[in-house]
Structures are given as C-alpha cells and as structure tokens.
Amino acid sequence: MDSQCVSILPRVCGVLLVSGSSLPDDTSLEKLLDWFTTVAQTGPSLLEACPCLVDFVSKVAFNYASGSSILSFTLKLTGLIGASEDGFKVLKECSVLKLVFNPQHWQEAGLWEDPCLRIGWIQGLKMILQHSEALSFFAQADLIEPLLQLQTDPSLFVASAANQTLAQVLLLCQSLSSVGHNGSKNRDLEHNSVSMETTQNYSGIITKVSEYLNKSVVLKEISQLPGSQQILRLLAMLLVRVGPPLRDTLLLAVMNSLEELVTTSCSQLTVPLLDVILAANSGLRDDCVPKQRLIRLLWAMLNMKKPDDVMQAAAAVLRSHQSDPALSAHSARVLLLPLDIVTGVSLLDENSTEGELRILITEQLKRKSCISMICVCLSNIPQITLMASDRLPCPQRLIVTAVLLLLRLCCVDSSSSSPGCVEVVRFITGNSKVQKCALEALLVLSKSPGVKMVLVEVFKVLTEYLNSPSSDPSVLQKSYQVVIKWVGVCPDLSCITDQLREGFIQAVRKRACDTRWEARDSTVEFLGHLVEVPSCWTFTEQETEPLDVLLGGRRFTVPLLKEALQDPESYVRASSISALAQTLAPSWQDGTALTQEQEDIVAQLQEVLFQDSEGFARRAAVKYFTAWFSACSSPSSCWLLMQSMPTVLSQGVADLDWEVKLHTLELAELLLDRAFPDPSPSHSYAVMSDQDHRLPIAGHPNSCCC
C-alpha cells in the first residue's frame, strides 16, 4: 500500500468533516471507498492501516450538518470496516454501530427521507453482514424491520439495493445454519456448532421474512400493484439464490398467497408471478407436494380468460423445460393457436380442448394488439421444435407451411389472402416486427424433417421479400440469413429452376443498388457468405457450389462486388472488400492464375489504403492481403501478391488508425513465419494473435453472421 496515501488520510478526513454539503464532486467519495476496499482485501486490516477512520465515522455520525453524500459514504465505510471481525469489535466498543445503523437516529435528524442516505444505510449493512457477530447485531437491533420496509421503497434504486441486502441476510442465515449441523472450514464459521442465540436469531429473521412475503404478495387494491410486482421479483430472486431447506420454508410460507394471486387474473402480475412459480419449481422432486401444487398453479394460469396472459404463461412453461409432458404439450398447442387461426393451416386437431381459448384469441386478433400475440407465437417456435415428435401438435412441415403463408400475408406486394382470420391482415401487412419474427422462426425450421419438399416455396417467399421495395433493411438482412441457412441444410438443390434463379438474381442486383446503405451492405455480405456454403447436388446429379446454382457463379458476384468498392458508404466498401476475399479464396488456394479483373481489384485496394478517408475500408483492405497470403499455396510464385506487399506494409504501418496498424503487423508476422519457418523463441515484442486471418470487419455495426 502507498504509505504516502496513508500519511495524508487524516487530512482528507478533516476536509470531509468541514466540507459539509459543499463537496463539489461525489465521485471522489466512491473512488476513495474503492481504495479502502482494495486495502481491506489485499493488505492488513483496514483499521490497522488507517486507524483514523473510527474517529472520522464517530464524528460524522453526530454531525447532522454533513451532506447526504458524505453521510452515505460514511455508512458504507462503517460497513466495510465492520466486515472483518476485528473491525466489528472496535466499532462495537466505540458504540458507533448502534448509532450509525439506527434508522430512528436518522429519522429524528430529518435525513432518512433522502434516498442517498437510505442507499448508504442499505449498502453499509450489506457490507457488514459477513460473519455471525454481524448477524447477531442485526437481529438484536431488529434491523430486519426497516430493511423489510425498504423492499418496496418508492426509489427503485433503494428497493433494488434492499432486495440484494435481504438476499445477503438470508444467505448468511443459511450458511450459519448449515454450520450448526455440518461444520465449516471458513474462518468466519470455523466452529462446528452455532450458539443457541445465533440459532434463535436465524429462526427469528426467517420467520419475519416469511410472514412479510406472505402478507405482501397478495394484491389487496390496485394502488399496491407496483409494490406487489417488486415483491414478486424479490421472491423469484430469493428462490433462485437460496437453497433447501430455506427455499422450502419460504415457498411453503407464500404458497397460499400465490394461489390466491393467480385467481385475481391481474395481467400486470402475470410475468413476475410466472417467474416466481418457475423459480420455485426448478429443483423440486416430481413427487413432492409443493411441486404438485406449483404444477396446478401453472395449469390454472394456462386456463385464464385473458389470451395475452395465457400466451405468456405457455411461453414461460416451454422456456423452462418443464418435466410434465402434458403441461408442455398443452403449452405448445396454446402458442400455435394464433398461427393456426391467422393462416387457416390446421396445426391443431379438431378434438383439441382449446375451443374457448380459440374464440378469445380470434377476437384478440381482430385488434391492433394482435401484433404482440403473433410475435410471442413465432418467437417460441424454436422451443416447440425441440419437443419430442410424439408430443408435437402437428408435423413440423405443417408449421413451416403456416409460417410461409404468414410471411406472404405480411408482404405488401403479395396477392395472397388468408383463409383464416381476414381481419388480422390489415394489421400485419408490412409490419417488420412480425416479418422478422417469422423469418427467425423459418431459420430454426430449416432443421425440420423433409424440408426439401418446401424448399421451392421458401425460395419463392424470400425472393418476394428481396424484390419488395417496402421491405425494411433489417428484414432484407434476415431474409439473406434464411437463404444461407436453408441452402446450407439442403444438399440437393435440383428443385431450383432457371426461372427461380433468374428471379433471385434480379432481386439481388436490385438490392445491390438500393438507396439505403444498410440494404446494400447486407447484400454484399450475403454474397461473401454464400461462397462458404458447402457444395450441393443439382438436377444433373453433379456436385456444384450453391453460388453457381443460385446466382450463376463468380461471373455475377465479382463485378457486383467490384462496383461496391466505389460505394459512398464506408461500411459497404469494407463489406465488399471482405466479400471479395471470401469469393476469391478458393482460387488462391488452387493457385489459379490471376485474371485481369483480379489485378484491377488489387490496384483498387491499394488506392483504398492510400485514399479512403474511413478506417473501416482501410482495415478490410489490409485483411484482404492477409487472407490472400494465408490462403495462397505458394505466395512467392504469385508475383502480384509479393509486389503488393511492400506497399501494403509501408502504408499500413503509417496509417493513423490503430487497427489498421495492428492488422498490418499481423500480415508482417505471416511474412516472417513464411520466410523463417524454423521455430524460434518468442520475444517480448512478438505479435500475439489467435485470430483466424479471415473476415468479418471489426467494429462493423451492421455485421451479420449468416
């Protein structure tokens, strides 16, 4: 520890005492507290290093004129000092603890109403609760009462801090209780038995917390709604963090209140209530009574009269991977209902028990709020596809068909009509949120059995989206990702006809000239990613690249990417350089002779290094040469590559962008490795890089991983 800092500490404390509320910068107090924390964790005891702190804390406790920031700092500092048993004893002997952590003391001074002071009180309390002596003090001073009152404080920061501190109290109680039965090697808990007094303190705290939770969970009037939401969030956190038997105690204490709360059908409490039930449900044995009561609660929530609440409950059940197969199967049927109704595709059997819910959801879909319901349905399709086939409401191929029909209904330029709920079409047409959710679902559904049967339909729908002028750039990007995914999992592309290919080529060419730079950027990125898709089979039963099947090969993509090097947007220029490297990499590996077009590209990239005003493009240019050198089977035989190296290296190291310099050093390292292949000991200035010398562009805001 810096002795000079310690030597001036008494003067710093003196300044804080006389500054009152005129301290210009509160952050200096946080930095000072951080320094004290480091001292306490790494050096001798805090009081041994800084003995003046006890006097400082005592004086501030009696000085009501101090500002709230200094008071809050002092409360936290007191907790930090008392976190060690030695420090705790010193504070106790000085009668500082009872004064500092007595809420009534601050209330009488008229300071308790300040959230800053309450935060300091809570965090100081959390710091000090590290050992059994602190827990005894906490219990004897009955500090659990004010701490419980702060659980629903009007200040969200105060309430959140109080929640965390209550969890700390319970965890300490739990650890002390386990020591009482099992022993511990910890310094705090090194005795094999806990005193009767500590055990009583533990039981008293748990009882008060249980009673408080049981009473606070129930919603008596609508004005208590924010408090109920906060208590449910607290309860969910506690059930996750504490273990048995304490978790079982808390659960049994609130079970009746949870059952009562479910019957209120308050939509604002649905999500936090589900979090509590699922947190309690995890880890319980299937045959225990609490588990069975929780399952009944979930069934009750799945049978509520409000469709949005039922959808939320079903989604939560699937995400939690419940062990009850009937519950999961019912949740899947509930979630597929909106898709069934909107598209008219029969995803659920006629004997399904969701008849009343179907009527309620149909009415909901006739209102604008249907958007969120449809998105919940679509975003949970990945969870549905993970279910065992015998538990699925229908074959996955039918879900694919329904999603494709929904995408057509959402497309502005589509002429499709809904055989299902006609009223919903006016809300979902052109809605990018629904479109992206549906495309995301289609990504996952690419793994479904028998996808080749619907590949043509998928391709047609995606081409429609790429052709539509109303498609949002984010929708276009997602469409490209779906193309890559589906082509990658379908090794047989013999169903792609010349007509389909021509339509797709026109769509890609159109998007490469889009007025929106995001659309152009997604297009050139797609061209690069398509090269990396594994080979496939065509109708001639020959193995070929998907790039050739969909776009006619490099004779289409290279000129288009070369033109994108002149794009006015730097992100597009950078993406085009990366895509060119991906596109030309196979020819580099094969040692194919360079064409005039490729020589022109090299000249353009050198111009980018010299003249481009944006770092993104210059970084990509250096990485292009790095990828070229890495992929080339014999770099020395490629005259243009070796001729370009001096220019690239000299210009790269002189660049003002540090990332350009870094990539240039990586290129120089590759050159040295090839020139001196024998292993040599590394030195302190060696460039260490475990990155693959490929794309994507660092820092690219629109980079997508297809």
Q: How far apart are CA 137 and CA 87, in angstroms?
A: 14
91 CB contacts (<8 Å, ≥6 apart)?
A: 54, 57, 78, 81, 82, 97
Say whether pLDDT at 517 is over 90: yes
Taking only the tens place, the pLDDT of each residue in 404-446 is 999 999 997 766 666 667 788 889 999 999 999 999 999 999 9
The CA R_g of the chain, rounded to the nearest whole Å, is 33
Percentage of residues of the chain with pLDDT beyond 90: 47
Report the pLDDT value the prediction gives residue 431, as an integer from 0 to 100: 93
pLDDT value at residue 101: 93
Q: What is the pLDDT of residue 450?
A: 76
Separation between Cα atoms, residue 230 and residue 152, nearest integer Å: 6
Element (H or E) spanning 480, and its range?
A: helix 473-489
Whether 267 and 306 have beta carbons less than 8 Å apart is answered as: yes
pLDDT band at 704 (very low <50, low <70, confident <90, very high): very low
More confident residue, 50 or 436: 436
Q: Which of 28-32, 286-290, 450-454 has the highest mean pLDDT?
A: 28-32
Task: Say whether the peptide bond before residue 226 is cis (omega within 30 degrees of 0).
Answer: no
- Which pLDDT value is given to residue 173? 87
Mean pLDDT (whole number) for 157-177: 90
Contact between residue 361 and residue 423 where contact means Cβ atoms under 8 Å apart: no
pLDDT digit string, tens, across residues 168-186: 999 988 887 765 544 444 4
Angle at 691 between CA 686 and CA 696, to 5 degrees: 135
The two three-digit tokens of residue 206, written as one number: 């748990």
pLDDT at 705: 41
Span of 37-41, 396-400, 517-521 with lowest mean pLDDT: 37-41
pLDDT tens for residues 524-561?
Answer: 999 999 998 887 666 556 678 888 889 988 999 999 99
Give me the residues paired with residue 537 across strands.
Answer: 492, 543
| Model pLDDT, residue 119 | 95
Cβ neighbours around 461 below 10 Å, total? 25
> What pTM value is reported for the model?
0.80
Residue range 347-390, pLDDT digits in tens: 987 656 678 889 999 999 998 889 999 999 999 999 999 888 88
Nearest one of 61, 74, 57 to 23, comparing CA atoms: 74
Q: How confident is the model at residue 188 (pLDDT cuts 50, 70, 90)?
A: very low
Q: How confident is the model at residue 3 (pLDDT cuts 50, 70, 90)?
A: low
The CA angle 630-534-507, to the nearest 5 degrees, is 100
Which of 443, 332, 342 shows the shortest CA–CA distance to 394? 332
Quote the pLDDT of residue 307. 92
pLDDT at 49 over 80: no
Contacts of 300 (CB under 8 A, 6+ apart): 262, 263
Cα within 13 Å of Cα(588), Cβ side: 22
Query: What pLDDT, on a 0 to 100 scale, did the predictor assign at position 10?
Result: 77
Task: State mean pLDDT over 208-212.
Answer: 93
Q: Where are the domains of the chain?
A: 601-674
Q: Is the pLDDT of residue 576 over 90?
A: yes
Q: Are 284 and 208 in contact (CB under 8 A)?
A: no
Contact predicate 579/573, CB 8 Å: no
Tens-place pLDDT, residues 237-262:
999 998 888 888 999 999 999 999 88
Q: Look at residue 198 in the predicted model and tell me its pLDDT.
A: 63
